[in-house]
Amino acid sequence: MSDQTQRTFIAVKPDGVQRGLISQILARFENRGYKLVGIKMIVPTEALLREHYAEHVDRPFFPKLLAHMTSGPVAAMVWEGSDVVAQGRTVLGATNPSNALPGTIRGDFGIDMGRNVCHGSDSVASAEREINLWFKKEELADWTLSQHKWIYE
């Protein structure tokens, strides 16, 4: 990984999994030119989610979020590329789907804030923390994307 290359954590939430949107979300990131270095299906535990959403645990919406996120499988992913954290957030769209632009994942597939299809890291520090929560180091693949020279200068 070069100094300019980042990794981010993206999760297709249970609503996105149940709606069959995993492949379309994967395609958005692959078509953009990002490299998938980790993916797994997992039904998250309450303990994992309390750690993942630590800043929200005392908020009034947290019990509903916890119930939703433990209701079924999540497609957890790690993507790699230049500026992938910020660009990943752009691909996802605004957290509230009613504010998300058409062409973004949430703008195209979301209606309700509580069913906004995906989670994406909001900073490089958050991405590193979230990746380490959801993945063991050996679950991430270091590999060279053959198209790299066609995507980057």
Two tokens at 12?
A: 């297709």
Beta bridge pairs of residue 125: none
For residues 101-135, one letter each, b for 16 or more C-beta atoms within 10 angstroms of the residue's C-beta and e for the rest, the string is eeebbbbbbbeeeebbbbbbbeeeebbbbbbeebb
Q: Identify the CA nearest to 93 among candidates 111, 78, 79.
A: 111
The verdict on whether residue 106 carries a ligand-binding annotation is yes
13 is in an annotated binding site: yes
Q: Please give the structure tokens belonging to residue 136.
A: 């063991």
Active-site entry in 52, 56, 68, 119: 119
- Residue 52 catalytic? no
Question: Per the annotation, where are the binding residues?
Answer: 13, 61, 89, 95, 106, 116
Question: Per the annotation, where are the binding residues for ATP?
Answer: 13, 61, 89, 95, 106, 116
Q: Which residues are catalytic, by number? A: 119
